[in-house]
Amino acid sequence: MTLDDLALALASPGQPQLGLAAMEAALASAVGHRLFTVLVLDEARGLNRRYHSSRPVEYPVGGYKPVQRGSEYYRQVVEAGQPRFCRNREEIIQAFPDHELILSLGCESCVNLPIRWNGRTLGALNLLHAAGHYSETQLPVLRVFAALAVAPLQWILDGPETQ
C-alpha cells in the first residue's frame, strides 16, 4: 500500500477504522513492523487507550489506562513530542512491563512516534520489529504518517456523537 492509497482510504467513509487499517498496511510497506498499535491520549481525562492493533489477539483494542505522567515515555513522547526508540532486547525489557509478550512476538525494537497537532500530543504510532530495525533515518517518512494520523485521532477524541 502506498501513501496515495492511504490518503484515499482516509478520505473514504468508515473512519477511523478504515484509515487506521490502511495506515497499518502502508507502514508495513514503508518501514515494516511485526506489531503496530495506535495509542490515543485523552489528556483531559488523564487516560489513554489502544485504539488500533495489528495483533488484536495479543494486544486487544479498547479499555482505558491511566496516563503515567512521571514515566520516561510521557516525558519524551507526550511532553517533548519526540520519538522514543528501543533498539534491542535489553531496551525493550527496560521500557515495557509486558516485555515477555513483546519478545514472544519476535519484537526486539520499537519506535513510539507522537501524533501531534498544534503543539499537543494526541497519541502515538507504535511500531515494533526485530532488533535494530528502527532508526532516526526513518523519521522523515514516519513523521508523514504521524501527520496523517492527526485527523483520525481528532475524530476519536472529539467523539462520534459530535460528527
Q: Is 47 helix (H, G, I), strand (E, B) or coil?
A: strand
Going along the chain from its start, the domains and CATH numbers come out as: 3-155 (3.30.450.40)
The predicted structure's pLDDT at residue 161: 46
pLDDT tens-place string over residues 47-99: 999 999 999 999 999 878 889 898 999 999 999 999 999 999 999 999 999 99
Grid coordinates 499537543 are at which residue?
120
CB 126 within 8 A of CB 103: no
Q: If you average pLDDT over residues 106-131, what whole number do you get?
A: 98
CA–CA dist 30, 160 (Å, integer): 30
pTM, 2 dp = 0.94
Give which of 72, 84, 147 is closest to 116, Cα–Cα: 147
The predicted structure's pLDDT at residue 160: 60
CB 4 within 8 A of CB 16: no
| Vertex 75: Cα angle to 139 and 111 (nearest 5) | 30
SS3 content of the chain, % helix, strand, coil (to 5): 40, 25, 30
CA 24 to centroid of chain Cα atoms: 10
